[in-house]
Structure 1
């Protein structure tokens, strides 16, 4: 029996400010990079607020350019509720586009596969639905920020 595909419900868009990456070097797991999160904004039909400065994205880059993303940060909703975010995903594209991204140059988002699966935790009862749903996001990297569009999987 085939079931219908899940619907996607737009929850919010985020613009997340990022600092210059710290290049840790090539380890047994691949090249390691840490990108500090400097703040940002969140706006959408189900959540609006700000990204609290202080989080980071811990990245592992494979020899073929595949970047595994593991970001951890906090969103403060407009009403003051705090939401812990753990966002894992993948970023990949043609070698020349990935090299331009690495140098901090603009790249057409259509050239890059950038998808994540954020998880949320909160003590706010009115946002408990964020802890009992799955989410997917599409992303784009700019020189000074990351743009995310986050969707709840129905």
Structure 2
């Protein structure tokens, strides 16, 4: 015979597990377009094998970016210190500098793996002391990179909170 305590525990567990199953899928976050960037690249320098794969350094030599809240040029400082892993997947690891049309400086770092469809999915992190663009320091951003002969193009978006019900 079950004790009253055991029955209450069993009913409570069933009630809470039923509630968990009945909950709706959470609302998805949104994306707000930040900019499109075109960047020119220098000749790559194969560094060779290391503990994390084969490293290749690709210099960033210039370019431009344009979006609804910021635009300017890509300065010729920085590079992609990418890795090619044991399964031949390239992962970007960049650090470079933007200068806005109103002369603010924004440091960017990105990382992310190549996908089977040829795109590279990027995590983007911004750093700036500019009061006008300080909001970028707190942005969670993603980008989609496509590459060409001597250049890359990146479309970048800011992650936004889901809308409330």
Once the two structures are superposed, what CA deviation does each residue of 1:18-58 show, in whole Å capped at 9, x if it has no partner? 11110011222211100000011001112100000011000
Structure 1: runs of 5 or more not aligned: 94-110
Q: TM-score, normalised by structure 2?
A: 0.80
Take 2:51 and 2:32, find their aligned partners in 1: how far apart are those partners?
Answer: 39
Asked whether the equivalents of residues 65 and 92 of structure 1 are also in contact (C-alpha less than 8 Å), the reply is no
Q: Is residue 38–residue 53 contact of structure 1 (8 Å, CA) maintained in 2? A: yes
- In 1: Cα distance, 2:50 partner to 2:96 partner: 24
TM-score (norm 1): 0.85
8 A Cα contact 2:115 2:121, kept in partner: no
The one of 96, 109, 115 aligned to 1:92 = 115
Q: Which residue among 116, 138, 147 is the counterpart of 1:141? A: 147
- Give 1:72 deviation, angstroms: 0.2
Match of 1:64 in 2: 87
Q: Is the 8 A contact 2:110 2:124 kept in 1?
A: yes
Which of these two proteins has the greater Rg computed from alpha carbons? 2
Pairing of 1:3-152 with structure 2 (within 5 A): 3-93=26-116, 111-152=117-158
1:83-113 deviation per Cα after TM superposition (whole angstroms, max 9, x unaligned):
00011111133xxxxxxxxxxxxxxxxx313
Output the aligned Cα RMSD: 1.1
CA distance in 2 between partners of 1:151 and 1:92 (Å): 18
Name segments (4+ residues, structure 1) moved above 6 Å: none
For structure 1, which segment, 80-89 or 58-67, has the greater mean C-alpha deviation from structure 2 after superposition? 58-67
How many residues matched? 137
Cα distance in 2 for partners of 1:47, 1:17 equals 19
Query: Any idea what SS the aligned residue of 1:4 has?
Result: coil
2:14 is aligned to none
